[in-house]
Each structure stands twice: as C-alpha cells, then as structure tokens.
Amino acid sequence: MSGVVAALGYGTAGFAVGDEVFGLTDQLRDGAAAEYVAVEARNVAAKPRTVDHVHAAAVPRAGLTAWQALFDHGKLARGQTVVIHGAGGAVGSTAVQLARWAGAQVIGTGRSHSRPLVLELGADRFVALDTDRLEDVAGQAELVLDTIGGEVLARSPALLRPGGTLVTIKAAAQLPGDRDDIRNVLFVQESSRAQLTELARLVDEGRLRPQVGAVYPLAHAAEAYSAKAAGGIPGRIVLQP
C-alpha cells in the first residue's frame, strides 16, 4: 500500500501525521483493500518522492520479493549471471531491473509478448518459453529466480553452474532434487523498512520503474481480482480509494 499517515499509535516514533509512506500490512491481517489500514511502523518507509501513490503502491510486495530472492537468498554479485523466469510479471520485471543495477548479466524468460518489455528494462537476453529453447542457456547461471513453478521449475537445475542457487517463490512448488551440487530455496517475502528505503531511493534515481498493470476503483475490487486471476495483465493491479 501507499498512503498518508492519518493517525499514530501511542509511542510510535519516526513518522508524523501527514507523512507519505508505503509498505506492507501484516500478512496475518486482511490486506490493504480499504480507505484506512492499521500497519506497524516497522513495515513502512517514506514513499518515493518522484512517483504518485498508485505507482508507489506497486513497489513493496514485488520489490521486497525480488530483492530478497536476488540478494538475501540468491547472494547475487556483480558479474554473475541470473536467469529470471516470468521476467515480464510484477516480481520478474522488478528483479530484472534490480539485477541489472547490481551489475549482473540478466537472462529473462516468459511468453514472447514479454520480450520487448524485459529487454527494455535491462535484460541482456530473453528466452521465449513458447518459441525458444530453454536448454540454450544450460549451465550458464549462478542463480535462477523462478516465479512460474511447474515444468519450468523442474527444468531449471540444468541452467545452473555447479554451486549455483535455485530460488522459487511458488508456495506449492516441489523443489527439484536431481542435483546435489546446487542449493534450492523456497521462501516467502518479509517486510523490511531498510529494503523499502533502498527501493524508494532506486525509484527516485530512475533505476527502478514501478510496473502498474491496471488501476481499479476500490469499489470494483472483486472485478480487479478476477481480471488479474484470468491472466494477461502485466505488472501489479492497484486499487484506488
């Protein structure tokens, strides 16, 4: 979510009423599809100054997921190669930009229609899963970030060099176990004010472009969720009160 602080709980420090902030509500609460939400101060940071609330709201979940997959779990370093499955999606397109900023070689995968966007965002190469051969990049990567699961995840170990890491965010994924010389990671993103602050800085510097797929009025939330579930909408869907 992204919005304006309307009130502070007792003892809250670091923010004032009227501050513009962005971040995540607690995952055990009911989300942010509302005009007002209660959120712990540790889960928000100052909103990027150069974008509006609609674009800022598209950053936290995709941004934190991509950051933690690449750097916390994947240990991506400058000069390494990363394959990002689903590079045209919200998490994937954010990961492409972050990996490029970090100095990595970026190979994106996805449907053919995602090729122009993924290359524009900084990928060095794009492999279309519906027309190209994934095997053409076998053994080239230190890190694979999977946002798709299924067959694509099952074929991913072959893309890694010995000692590489396969990271997936698909909660129901069955991690491949056919190689003992790579590391497999399944994780769920966590909130981090420090990482949100860094993401905001990258947005303000023009290094990270929020990916907004569609904007719906809050009153049309059910329609928005149905449209996203049906597929074909890139980036994040944003609900606007």
Q: What is the per-residue pLDDT across 114-158, written as a single tens digit (0 to 9) for each?
A: 999 999 999 999 999 999 999 899 889 999 999 999 999 999 999
Q: What is the pLDDT of residue 16?
A: 96
Q: pLDDT per residue over 223-241, tens digit each? A: 999 988 887 777 889 999 9
Pairwise CA distance, residues 65 & 71, whole Å? 10
Buried b (16+ CB within 10 A) or exposed e, 192-212: bbebbebbbebbeeeebbbbb
* β-bridge partners, 39: none
Please name the fold of domain 67-186.
Answer: Rossmann fold (3.40.50)
With 0.85 as the threshold, say if the pTM is over it.
yes
* β-bridge partners, 236: 212
Provide mean pLDDT across the span 23-38: 89
| Strand residues in the chain grouped as ranges (E) | 2-4, 20-23, 44-46, 81-84, 105-110, 125-128, 141-146, 160-168, 183-186, 212-217, 236-240
Provide mean pLDDT across the span 98-109: 98
pLDDT at 37 over 90: yes
> Residues 222, 238, 211, CA angle at the centre, nearest 5°?
135
pLDDT band, very low/low/confident/very high, at 49 (cuts 50, 70, 90):
very high
Domain ranges of the chain: 2-60+191-240, 67-186
**Tokens of residue 177, six digits:** 């176990």
Closest to 160 measured CA to CA, from 141, 145, 179, 178 = 141
Q: What is the pLDDT of residue 97?
A: 98
Pick the range with the lowest mean pLDDT from 31-40, 45-54, 93-102: 31-40
Provide mean pLDDT across the span 21-49: 92
Pairwise CA distance, residues 48 & 202, whole Å? 9
Q: What is the pLDDT of residue 233?
A: 76
| 165 CB neighbour count, 10 Å cutoff | 20
Q: What is the pLDDT of residue 172?
A: 67
Q: pLDDT per residue over 171-186, tens digit each? A: 766 777 778 899 999 9
> Does domain 2-60+191-240 sit in CATH 3.90.180.10?
yes
pLDDT at 199 over 80: yes
CA pseudo-torsion sign 194, 198, 204, 209? negative
Question: At 150, phi and psi to the nearest 5?
Answer: 60, -140
